[in-house]
Chains A and B, each alone.
Chain A
Amino acid sequence: MRRGTFVRWGVPIAAAAVIAGAMGAGPVIAAVSGEPTLPERTAQQLLADAAAATSERDGIPPMSGTVQQTASLGLPALPQTGSASPINLLSGSHEVKLWYGGVNKIRVAMPTQFDETNVIVNGDQVWYWDSGDNTATKVKVKSGTDVGRHQLPTPSPSDMTPQKMAADLLAGAEKDTAVRVTNNAQVAGRAAYQLVLTPKDESSLVQEVRVALDGETYVPLQVQVYAKGSAEPAFQVGFTQVTFTPPAAENFTFTPPAGAKVQEQTLGDDKAAEQHAEHAQETAQGLKTVGEGWTRVAVLPFKPEDLTKARTQQPDGQWNEGADPGALLDNVLKSATPVSGTWGSGKLIKTKLVTALLTDDGRLLVGAVTPEEITKAAGIK
């Protein structure tokens, strides 16, 4: 071997090291710069400040950014479904782009390869654009009903925004939760407070829930749910990039392009929706809960045949291959473990975060609790 050979091969090795360093640098820098950059706050001060900032500004300040949602619930491998299916959100990683100009100016885009789905809200106009089938849908909301964003005909990507999730989670934080605040988190390159909620009950599968609030604007930037015994969050939704400048106005103007199919849809008007509402009400009446707080277990009457019936009720092929609930259920039940006890017998499905028990007497129990706890709940009728 010539002396120069080592020196020469040092160059590509150095190049590889630099590239590996650059790839790993992001998380490392965030971890190293752990010293507090924000003044210390207690949870109460933080929430009060956040509430004050929110009411002062009349909501969230104008902003835009990229929201990423990642779930690794440890579910059995789900069949691949269309990009727009809500079932897809249960596994893998998803990204949406968000432009927020005010309560009446919202654009959410879900980019996929060579396609894009958009929901654009501008004043009283709501457009849903799907480049895949070249269709623009003008969504009208029946007067008298509230404009709930989840009422949009999509599995509305806006449900994934941290704002909504944080609000939901904070509402649930009560006496059975230990709350603490850290002031050295970094989300999307911004210094943030992190509200850490730890369930006090041992039988909860949730290790902790972390809500990151921007240090300057108090806008929730990230929500992470950690399952017991895993270092990576089981569920995470948060900004990977965010700017607090008003987005350009053209983001919120939408005119259907020439050649596109234009449809109109009125929400709260069609019969299918009413039927859905009725069905939901029925289900809600049958719904019971056992336990309190983090270990609450929902019990609802459930028969696998119901889903098969639902399948036949959708003759227009509204379900994709994989999104068919019946087929999905078959798939999930295959990996379920049969259990039995004094309460009867059933099938247990365990994921990192949620345990579900389908009893043979037609009840479905769901909760973020250990299998022991859910079988205990099954005994309470």
Chain B
Amino acid sequence: MSTAETEVDVRRTPGLVPVTETMRTVEREPGAAPAGPPAAAPPPSRPVAAFWRLLGSELGLTFRRPRNQVMLAVLASVPLLIGIGLRIAAGDEAVGGLIGAVAGNSLMLTFVSFSFLVLLLMPVSVAVVGGDSVAGEAGAGTLRYLLAAPAGRTRLLAVKYLNAVLFAYAVTIVVALSALVTGLVLFPVGPVTLLSGSTVSVAEGLLRILVTVGYVGAGMAALAAIAVALSTFTEVSIGAIAATMVLVIVAQVIRAIPQLDFLAPYLLPTWWTRFDAVLRSPIDLAALGQGLLVFGAYIGLFCSIAWARFTGKDITS
């Protein structure tokens, strides 16, 4: 990228931020010579501090936004509704399996809540935040101000993705906490019966919930990568959000067709529900590990797509 290129390109669209310009703002260290290596101690520490400041302000914006707060509240209410429903139905002998197990143990409500929410409601909320991340700024016309500040495109994208990941974990933790509190209030506390028929202590049950939160959160972070990647392709955030949800729903449809079973191991929703591995005795670590590998592959692929697109795009709004 030569400097001549920008000098020639004088008659440009008003408001356009060409990629060459912001790329240079990234690489230029304040006060340092263009060719020289980063000077000494202060410059490297400053971008790091700036990164965390930017992330902090992003998180503040995300969690203060009423839309996101409402989504978290809705997610927190679902375990409550499931809990109340199961408490009323507790007398019926007919219910078996995972749902039936809740009546006997409070901790099971967390797993039941995840099994319901992980397929649609949690992906929706993660898609909203992820899909809005870049497209929302572009649509509101604030993206070029973000880029005018010497934040750098790669760093901005990293902040946006990290923000979406943290929101994904917040969603997971909110569901787990709400289910845990509801369960403790409505159902008896005691040793947890696993799917394998063996029982573990309450402490180990809580530990297994923690593993589930980590695993499901990672699964949602993989979806967030898709949402952020799609978000870099459009200036209309609803487009990125809808596209992400369409992908999730198409994956669910494929999973429902027995003839397409061979595709299932490559789809995210298949692995979201695999958190049931923690409910087996011994914990099916192989299944969890494979799930995490799939999530990692999705994150790597879609983050690199987002990066390639975002660092090479002229910002026109």
Contact = CB atoms under 8 A, between A and B. Distances in A.
Interface of A: 2-5, 8-9, 11-12, 14-16, 18-19, 22, 66, 77, 80, 92-93, 109, 111, 113-116, 118, 127, 129, 131-136, 241, 248, 250-251, 254-260
A132 B97 contact: yes
Contact of A2 (B19, B193, B197, B300): B19
Contact of A257 (B103, B197, B280): B197
Contact of A8 (B103, B195, B311): B311
Interface string B189-205: 01101011111000000
Q: Is the interface of A mostly helix, strand, loop or mixed?
A: mixed
Contact of B297 (A3, A19, A116, A135): A19
A260 B197 contact: yes
Give chain B's interface residue range (CB within 8 Å of chain A): 35 or more
B261 interface: yes
Contacts of A129: 196-197
Contacts of A248: 282
Given A8-B312, A11-B308, A255-B199, 14 more contacts: A2-B312, A5-B312, A9-B312, A15-B301, A19-B301, A93-B261, A114-B98, A115-B97, A115-B195, A133-B96, A134-B96, A251-B282, A257-B193, A258-B190
B149 interface: no
B273 to A, nearest CB: 6
A255 B97 CA distance: 18
A254 B197 contact: yes
Contacts of B261: 92-93
Contacts of A250: 198, 281
A256 B307 CA distance: 54
A301 B258 CA distance: 34
9 contacts: A12-B304, A12-B305, A114-B279, A118-B196, A127-B197, A129-B196, A255-B199, A257-B197, A259-B104
B115 interface: yes
A15 B304 CA distance: 7
A113 B308 contact: no
Nearest to A120: B197
B300 A113 contact: no
A258 B104 CA distance: 8
Interface string B296-317: 0100110011011001100000
B276 A113 contact: yes
Given A15-B304, A92-B261, A132-B97, A4 B1 contact: yes
B308 A134 contact: no
A85 B297 CA distance: 35
* Most interface-central of A8, A12, A129, A255 (chain B CB within 10 A): A12
A11 B304 contact: yes
B276 A114 contact: yes
A111 B97 contact: no
A131 B276 CA distance: 13
B193 A258 contact: yes
Nearest to B301: A15
B47 interface: no
Contacts of A241: 286
Nearest to B99: A114
B16 to A, nearest CB: 15
Contact of B197 (A9, A15, A131): A131
A256 B273 contact: no
Contacts of A256: 197
Interface in B254-304: 258-259, 261, 273, 276, 279-282, 284, 286, 297, 300-301, 304
